[in-house]
């Protein structure tokens, strides 16, 4: 079997790629290390919340944030588990190979752990895509899935198309194949992020899902239209518009390129990979005056997301310690 995606390249597609490239060129001059860690964390949380909300997860952004900060919340157990799984999957995602089937199955296993009996394996039965109660697409038979996904990933790897275009083609084709019993939507969006991240690191922290969520009705409508037309051009245009608008939002709010002060750089160098108390950290940077340490070193590092507390609910706890932020 030789899997060949069916799509055309419209003038709108090419114009959108040009627009995105112009923004990306400006932003990647900073590189991902120059993006405020607090922004990276906030965008990761927004991504998880939006992608799950599209799949009818009921938790609010504040509740998702609380869960990822280690707090207990009141909410449906399955919805909470979805958030925890998604966080674990995204933590692993950027180290995976986007063209490797086993990597995809590993990500799905984590994403859908204890949520479906077929976590980490391709579906064993038929499945369809629904918008409410309306069936908008019936996926190919389960017996075709493994070979189709292998061929699709091989096509993405070898295609000479622009990464922006082929990542969108992948997203559509993945949803068309619908390889898993559950979790296809969140996997397709997540895997497109991975494909784009391997091209430009910036995309690992871009919350495109938030804009897709806001345009959810159109998302499903375009998927249905592309199925009927046997051409994914409208979906490609839809996703490129979402990517462009997400980039515009980030660049216009000037949330990138936060300058790290010399004091914060000294503090981060001193803490390394350790988890230490405030007293020990102050000794490591060679200070004895606590107010100066807190004002110029500790608080700026925490406020800008470079440092996190081990007991965030009790900032003044005698057992409080500090470490570099995980995200």
- Reported pTM: 0.77
Answer whether 128's CB lies under 8 Å from 138's CB: yes
Q: State pLDDT tens for residues 43-91.
A: 899 999 999 999 999 999 999 999 988 888 999 999 999 999 999 999 9
Place of tokens 């996190």: 308
pLDDT band at 28 (very low <50, low <70, confident <90, very high): low
Determine the straight-line distance between the first and last CA of the chain, rounded to whole angstroms.
41
How does residue 14 score in pLDDT terms, banded at 50, 70 and 90? very high
Contact 232, 161 (CB under 8 A): no
Residue 257 has pLDDT above 50, yes or no: no
Contacts of 35 (CB under 8 A, 6+ apart): 202, 205, 255, 256, 257, 258
At residue 64's C-alpha, the angle toward residues 59 and 69, to 5°, is 150
Query: Residue 58's pLDDT is what?
Result: 96
Looking at residue 135, its pLDDT comes to 72
Q: Dig out the tokens for 271 from the structure.
A: 């803490």
Stretch (H or E) spanning 267:
helix 262-271
**CA 49 to mean position of chain CA atoms:** 10
Instruction: For tokens 């000037």, name the residue.
Output: 254
pLDDT digits (tens, 9 = 90+) for 303-323: 777 888 898 888 888 899 999
Rounded to the nearest 10 degrees, the angle between the axes of helix 142-158 and helix 163-177 is: 180
- At 288, give phi and psi (nearest 5°): -120, -15
In this structure, what token pair is assigned to residue 1?
A: 């079997």
Count of helix runs (H) and strand runs (E) in the chain: 15, 5
Burial level of 143, CB count in 10 A (0-12/13-18/19+)?
exposed
Measured CA to CA, the distance from residue 104 to residue 186 in angstroms comes to 12
């Amino acid at each position: 079997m030789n899997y060949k995606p069916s799509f055309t390249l419209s003038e709108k597609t090419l114009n959108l790629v040009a627009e995105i490239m112009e923004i990306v060129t400006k932003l990647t001059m900073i590189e991902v290390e120059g993006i405020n860690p607090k922004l990276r964390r906030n965008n990761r949380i927004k991504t998880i919340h939006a992608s799950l909300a599209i799949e009818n997860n009921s938790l609010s952004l504040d509740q998702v944030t609380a869960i990822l900060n280690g707090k207990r919340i009141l909410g449906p157990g399955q919805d909470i588990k979805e958030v925890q799984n998604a966080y674990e999957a995204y933590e692993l995602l950027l180290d995976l190979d986007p063209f490797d089937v086993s990597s995809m199955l590993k990500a799905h296993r984590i994403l859908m752990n204890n949520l479906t009996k077929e976590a980490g394996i391709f579906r064993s039965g038929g499945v369809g895509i629904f918008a409410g109660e309306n069936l908008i697409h019936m996926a190919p038979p389960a017996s075709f899935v493994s070979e189709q996904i292998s061929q699709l990933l091989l096509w993405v790897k070898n295609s000479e198309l622009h990464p922006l275009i082929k990542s969108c083609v992948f997203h559509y084709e993945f949803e068309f194949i619908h390889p898993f019993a559950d979790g296809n939507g969140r996997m397709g969006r997540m895997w497109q992020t991975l494909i784009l991240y391997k091209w430009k690191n910036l995309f690992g922290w871009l919350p495109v899902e938030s804009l897709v969520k806001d345009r959810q009705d159109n998302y499903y409508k375009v998927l249905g239209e592309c199925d009927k037309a046997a051409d994914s051009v409208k979906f490609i245009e839809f996703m490129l518009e979402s990517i462009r608008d997400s980039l515009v939002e980030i660049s216009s709010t000037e949330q990138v390129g936060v300058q790290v002060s010399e004091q914060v750089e000294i503090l981060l160098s001193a803490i390394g990979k350790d988890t230490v108390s405030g007293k020990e950290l102050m000794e490591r940077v060679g200070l004895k005056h606590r107010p100066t340490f807190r004002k110029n070193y500790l608080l700026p590092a925490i406020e800008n997301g470079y440092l996190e507390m081990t007991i965030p609910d009790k900032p003044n706890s005698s057992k409080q310690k500090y470490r570099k932020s995980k995200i």
